[in-house]
Chain A
Amino acid sequence: GAGVSQSPRYKVAKRGQDVALRCDPISGHVSLFWYQQALGQGPEFLTYFQNEAQLDKSGLPSDRFFAERPEGSVSTLKIQRTQQEDSAVYLCASSFRSSPNEQFFGPGTRLTVL
């Protein structure tokens, strides 16, 4: 595929469950980003990887959120002990190193916490 893919597209979790969201970036893109988009809002930055290095995680809202990209390609965003306020669309984006601001977005994972 030519674009960023994310899975699952939809996830329903009971409060307190752990969830894992996957992102496959565009082949050759070294930078990878996660954003959280609450209903009716614009995306908000969570974290940023360059290859396997997590360069910025200042947007992660709590220590229940954890992201990894162990081989510099696929990334996983993990949320532990989910809360209702975690309900949102989680967007992944990737970009070439040379233009980190020009990001290409995946379709997102809609997380609903009951």
Chain B
Amino acid sequence: AQSVTQPDIHITVSEGASLELRCNYSYGATPYLFWYVQSPGQGLQLLLKYFSGDTLVQGIKGFEAEFKRSQSSFNLRKPSVHWSDAAEYFCAVGPIRGSTLGRLYFGRGTQLTVWP
């Protein structure tokens, strides 16, 4: 069965500090991988995605993520966090083929708090 694990429910960092949010997935084959961000009262905004190729992907707002096939991980990183990055972050996977094409499976999210 497909599953996405975000082991950290809540992370607090100081502004300017580096950030890494963890994501592990369980899937039958290498899926498409995504990170979304959700601010209060807002929908999900796509930060970055991995479909194939270079395993280090760059996204918006200075975020990047690295796909590690051997660890089934897709961790999100940012070298210097800004106060405006405080939000909830969701990792998601989606099939690259098959009857469930289009369906995304999400982790339960990591709430990021940024101290000034």
Show the binding face of A for B, using Cβ within 8 Å.
4, 31, 33, 35, 40-45, 48, 50, 55-56, 59, 91, 93, 95, 100-108
Q: How many residues of B contact A (CB 8 A)?
A: 27
Is A42 within 8 A of B43, CB to CB? no
> Given that A4-B43, A104-B46, A106-B43 are contacting pairs, would A42 and B102 also be in contact in the complex, using a CB cutoff of 8 Å?
no
Once A and B bind, how many residue pairs between them come within 8 Å at the CB atom? Answer: 65
> Which residues 35-94 of B have a CB within 8 angstroms of A?
36, 41-46, 49, 90, 92, 94
| B106 sits at the interface (CB 8 A) | yes
Q: 6 closest Cβ contacts across the A-B interface?
A: A42-B106, A101-B94, A105-B43, A100-B102, A105-B44, A107-B43
Contact A102 B101 (CB under 8 A): no
Contact in complex: B102, A43 (CB < 8 Å): no
Residue pair A48, B102 in contact (C-beta under 8 Å): yes
CB distance from B66 to the nearest CB of A (A): 19
A40 to B110, CA, bound (A): 10
| Contact call B42/A107, Cβ cutoff below 8 A | yes
Q: Which of A50, A101, A106, A107 contacts B104 (CB 8 A)?
A: A101
Are A45 and B109 in contact, CB atoms less than 8 angstroms apart?
A: no
Partner of A40, one of B94, B95, B96, B108: B108
Contact B109 A42 (CB under 8 A): yes
Partner among B4, B32, B90, B104 whose Cβ is within 8 Å of the Cβ of A45: B104
Known contacts A42-B107, A107-B41, A102 near B102 by CB under 8 Å: no
Residue of A with least CB distance to B107 = A42
Contact A105-B103, Cβ < 8 Å, known A41-B108, A42-B109: no
